[in-house]
Amino acid sequence: MLTRKQHELICFINDRLEETGVSPSFEEMKDALDLKSKSGVHRLISALEERQFIRRLPNRARALEVLRMPERVANAKKANVAPPSPPATIRTLPQPANDVIEIPLHGRIAAGVPIEAFEGQSMLAVPAALLGGGEHYALEVAGDSMVDAGILDGDYALIRRTETARDGEIVVALIEEAEATLKYFRREGAMVRLDPANRAYDPQRYAPAQVRIQGKLAGLLRRYD
């Protein structure tokens, strides 16, 4: 059972996708649902995503896909009956707006041998659709050991801050408080194994006390010159 706002939002997203083929911006969703801030939209999107009504499409700005609709709306469409009308605010569409968030850019991180991370700090503008809930930062990728995971030299890895990870997740691992690397995280007996996604590189094994998780991969940003 969805909340009223969740129901309004998924109907709004679905109607816009059917009309234009493009997801509405977070600003449009905020105004359509009469919310005070875009953080409310982020919470609603995350809730719908967790309940598998929608999903974010990676590496595309403002890209949402509706996986399923609430049952009574879906049944109404099958019966060729108009679903319940949303509130009037849903029908009042503002002018399109780009929804961009600035997150800290902490320097370069190795996708090969570990190198120093967090060399400095500037800001990177990122489409909000690439990020979920939580606090994020970006790192510029250096190296080619994650190419088979689609992570290339010069990409910007968008990282959600966390100190824990599950097997198979791509993480930023700080090794002996000195060097950081971007790798698949796995547990191997009493050891931690950091796996590359390139056969030219070997896995790296460390004692758990040598490795500290600083975040896990949330998305990628690639620039084409």
Angle among Cα 32, 37, 38 to the nearest 5 degrees reads 75
Residue 25 annotated in active site: no
Tell me which residue has tokens 């999107």.
45
- The angle at the Cα of 166, spanning 134 to 125, to the nearest 5 degrees, equals 30
Active-site annotation holder among 23, 38, 145, 216: 145
145 as an active site residue: the answer is yes
Cross-strand bridge partners of residue 217: 159
For β-strands 100-110 and 136-142, DSSP reports them as: parallel
Question: Of 30, 38, 183, 216, which residue is the catalytic one?
Answer: 183
Rounded to an integer, what is the distance from CA 51 to the centroid of its chain?
16
30-67: b (≥16 Cβ within 10 Å) or e? bbbbebeebebbbebbebbbeeebbebeeeebbebebe
Catalytic residue IDs? 145, 183
